[in-house]
Chains A and B, each alone.
Chain A
Amino acid sequence: MIQALFIALSAFGLLMALGTVFARNLVNAALFLVAFFFVIACQFVLLEAEFMAAIQVLIYIGAVTVILMFGIMLTRNIQGDETTTVSKRWRLLGLGAFGTVCTVLVLGINAYQPWTDLAVRPEFPVTKDSTTPRGQAILSMTPTVGREMMTRYVVAFELAGLLLTAALVGAVVLAQHDSTDIVNAKAEKPGTEPAVTGS
């Protein structure tokens, strides 16, 4: 039954992805993308990782899509009547690239040889059991994620934090209005002196 659910969900997701690529109107394409993100969240739930599903909805639909919409609406004419078209030559090249990628993927997956030093992963439990490590990790996903972030993946975590801080500081700097204009305006008013000469 889970198999049927997975196939139905994936088919729907592929349709949404195709809609994103082929839609003429940009905002419609963004909406198809939202649906696709939601389907990815459902796939996470099928894999028993509902923490990841919630994070997917929160980050991708709640933040990335909003930024995307802002970008579309502030840089296009106001109702987005322009549609996007692609010239014939680029279409042929795109098709060729897609065919190559598909071929490589199919051949690679069919001929999969596991690496010999790959760690043995615990099996998928037949009964939902809280005594295996995997079962316990599923039950306590959030503490597991927190612990792993602070011990095993702490370098990546800190680097991501650094990147986000840089983005935040950059946004604040870009959005600040120029204080030299205020200083010049002060200089023109009679009887006042600017307190500082720089910005």
Chain B
Amino acid sequence: MSPFDMTMTPETNLMLAQSIYYDKVDLWLWIRWGLYLFAGFFGVFPLIVAYIVLAERKLAARFQDRIGPNRVGPFGLLQPFADFIKLIIKESIVPKGANGFVHLLAPMLTLISAFLVLAVIPFGVGLAPVDLPSGVLYMVSVSSIAALSIFLAGWSSRNKYSLLGAMRGVAQLVSYEIPQVMSILPVILWAGSLSMVSIVQAQQYDQGWFIFSPPGILGFVLLLIASIAEVNRAPFDLPEAESEIIAGFHTEYSGMRFGLFFLGEYLNVFAVCCLTTTLFLGGGSLPFQSYFAGRAEHMLAAPFDASKDQILKLNAHHEFPLNPGSGFRIEITNEAGRSEAFQVSHRTGNDLYLLANRPVDFQAGANARVTAAARPDFASPWHFSNLIMIPVFFAKVFFLIFVMFWIRATLPRMRADRLMAFAWKTMVPLAIANIFLGAIWYEIVIRPAGGYGHKLVGWAVTGPLTLAAIALVFRINRNSYQANDPERRPTLISRTGESLLAATTQGQ
């Protein structure tokens, strides 16, 4: 970002000092939280989960050349309500020696964890229920509570098989948390912030979707696989497998308690898909739009977002690289070295009008340097760009959910030891290698010119390195695969001890 000089003239009186970094507790905040709690918590999310369950049944049926539920409503659309009524009127049987309080608490913890993850996801501009500066860390720590809930479910059922399932489940969850978190690290490096809203902004306005780079692709795949393991879905559903150890940790749950587990699992699927969309697919933004000057949605929104408190007018002698429009924030450094950020109200030709909602240090005619054309201010009221962003976000999320259903219908279940070996021997080394590749990409593409660096050079350098890393990891692991290990290769042995396969395989 090349600095350049400009003169500024303050136009009107200054407003009282106000913070632009903390949420103002005003009507818009209550509306946002009310939307999340009542529309989201009680309405939209359970409905989405119910219809995801129906979609899974119909999709799995289509993969298996049958139709799926189509009796209850048109195309089976009222099936979730029938399931709900069935679950409610069933008796919730609790084993006699079970710890009743813990038995009820376990599915609640899964639900709590899933809802807390959904609280930081930006569904659109200004529609993240809570925008924490350390959002990614919060999300990781909250999703680690789910492991505890599986443990408590297995223990409180007073059933040895449940306990076995719970132990395996916790081992699996704890193992796959590590590649899940490590695959997010390149994203944090590129965005430069832990806040989910900043990550979406970095993809929307600077760098394009993070998936469009070799370390991004590898990180996306790792995050998707680890997330499937984290929510106990096939092929990683050994803890709750219906044909192994009865039913795993939720054997002793029936009626609405089982319904709560069911709801929690599919809500976790939804939360994890939202997370992947936000981190790698630019949650809500259209692809390749950071290359176009004046993003379409802000041009749509510009006439409605301009405010009347214009104070500073910048006469720009050079073009801004990023073509800031209304809603952008410009950071200005004066001669004393102090820098401040101002929100852009609107732009006419070469003149930028800035909002200054606090006392400023700059005098009329002073020279100042623009050090960064910063990102739009998301803590402002409703943006019309949400009309595009919310449908796009949900389209991406539902596509990822479809991919998860697809994988479930296609792949067989993994055995416990192969599952753990896959996590520790394959995914963790790949995730570590991905961090290095992400740093290389950062140095080539992002640091020189804020996302407009040499993307072709970046692809040429990191592409072969990514492929080499994957090949290396699989090559190192090749001796641990059962088919290649002579000690563990299965053979047929007759009663006298001779191998029955020797005559057939070695001669001919």
Q: Is A73 touching B155 in the complex (CB atoms < 8 A)?
A: yes
Contacts of A25 in B (CB 8 A): 99
Which of A7-15, A54-62, A95-103, A149-157 contacts its partner? A54-62
- Would you give the 0/1 interface string for B3-30, flagging 1 where the beta carbon is closer than 8 Å to chain A? 0000000000000010101100000000
Provide the bound-state CA to CA distance between A182 and B97, in Å.
Answer: 43
Provide the bound-state CA to CA distance between A27 and B166, in Å.
Answer: 15
- B194 to A, closest residue via Cβ: A142
Contacts of A128 in B (CB 8 A): 19, 21-22
Q: Is A50 touching B138 in the complex (CB atoms < 8 A)?
A: yes
Determine whether B286 belongs to the interface, using a CB cutoff of 8 Å to chain A.
no
Q: Is B148 touching A79 in the complex (CB atoms < 8 A)?
A: no
- Would you give the 0/1 interface string for A45-74, flagging 1 where the beta carbon is closer than 8 Å to chain B? 000001101110110011101100110010
Provide the bound-state CA to CA distance between A51 and B497, in Å.
Answer: 63
Q: Is B158 touching A79 in the complex (CB atoms < 8 A)?
A: yes
- A57 to B, closest residue via Cβ: B141
Which of B129-137, B207-215, B347-355, B381-389 contacts its partner? B129-137
Q: Which of B91-124 contact A (CB under 8 A)?
A: 97, 99, 102, 105
Q: Which of A73-89 contact B (CB under 8 A)?
A: 73, 78-80
Interface centre among A27, A51, A79, A141 (most CB of B within 10 A): A79
Provide the bound-state CA to CA distance between A44 and B158, in Å.
Answer: 37
Given known pairs A27-B99, A66-B174, the reply for A142 and B145 (CB within 8 Å) is no
Provide the bound-state CA to CA distance between A139 and B19, in Å.
Answer: 12
Q: Is B137 touching A66 in the complex (CB atoms < 8 A)?
A: no
Determine whether B144 belongs to the interface, using a CB cutoff of 8 Å to chain A.
yes
Q: Is A66 touching B133 in the complex (CB atoms < 8 A)?
A: no
Interface residues in A, total, Cβ within 8 A: 33
Instruction: Please tell me which one of the listed residues A57, A65, A140 contacts residue B142 in the complex, with CB atoms under 8 A apart.
Output: A57
Q: Is B140 touching A58 in the complex (CB atoms < 8 A)?
A: yes
Given known pairs A61-B148, A79-B158, the reply for A127 and B141 (CB within 8 Å) is no
Given known pairs A31-B102, A66-B174, A127-B17, the reply for A54 and B137 (CB within 8 Å) is yes
Determine whether B147 belongs to the interface, using a CB cutoff of 8 Å to chain A.
yes
Report the minimal beta-carbon distance from A126 to chain B, rounded to whole angstroms: 11
Provide the bound-state CA to CA distance between A54 and B145, in Å.
Answer: 12
Determine whether A129 belongs to the interface, using a CB cutoff of 8 Å to chain B.
yes
Q: Is B141 touching A62 in the complex (CB atoms < 8 A)?
A: yes
- Would you give the 0/1 interface string for B140-178, flagging 1 where the beta carbon is closer than 8 Å to chain A? 111011011001100100101001000100100010010
Report the minimal beta-carbon distance from B403 to chain A, rounded to whole angstroms: 27
Interface centre among A50, A54, A63, A141 (most CB of B within 10 A): A54
Report the minimal beta-carbon distance from A81 to chain B, rounded to whole angstroms: 8
Contacts of A182 in B (CB 8 A): 487
Determine whether A42 belongs to the interface, using a CB cutoff of 8 Å to chain B.
no
Instruction: Please tell me which one of the listed residues B19, B102, B105, B194 contacts residue A130 in the complex, with CB atoms under 8 A apart.
Output: B19
Q: Is A141 touching B134 in the complex (CB atoms < 8 A)?
A: yes
- A172 to B, closest residue via Cβ: B424
Provide the bound-state CA to CA distance between A166 and B343, in Å.
Answer: 51
Given pairs A54-B141, A141-B134, A142-B194, 9 additional interface contacts (CB within 8 A): A27-B152, A50-B132, A54-B140, A57-B144, A62-B144, A62-B148, A69-B148, A73-B163, A129-B19
Pick 12 A–B contacts, CB within 8 A, sort by A: A31-B102, A53-B138, A58-B140, A62-B141, A62-B148, A63-B144, A66-B148, A66-B151, A66-B174, A69-B151, A78-B163, A79-B155
Q: Which positions in A face B, CB cutoff 8 Å? A: 25, 27-28, 31, 34, 50-51, 53-55, 57-58, 61-63, 65-66, 69-70, 73, 78-80, 127-130, 139-142, 182, 190
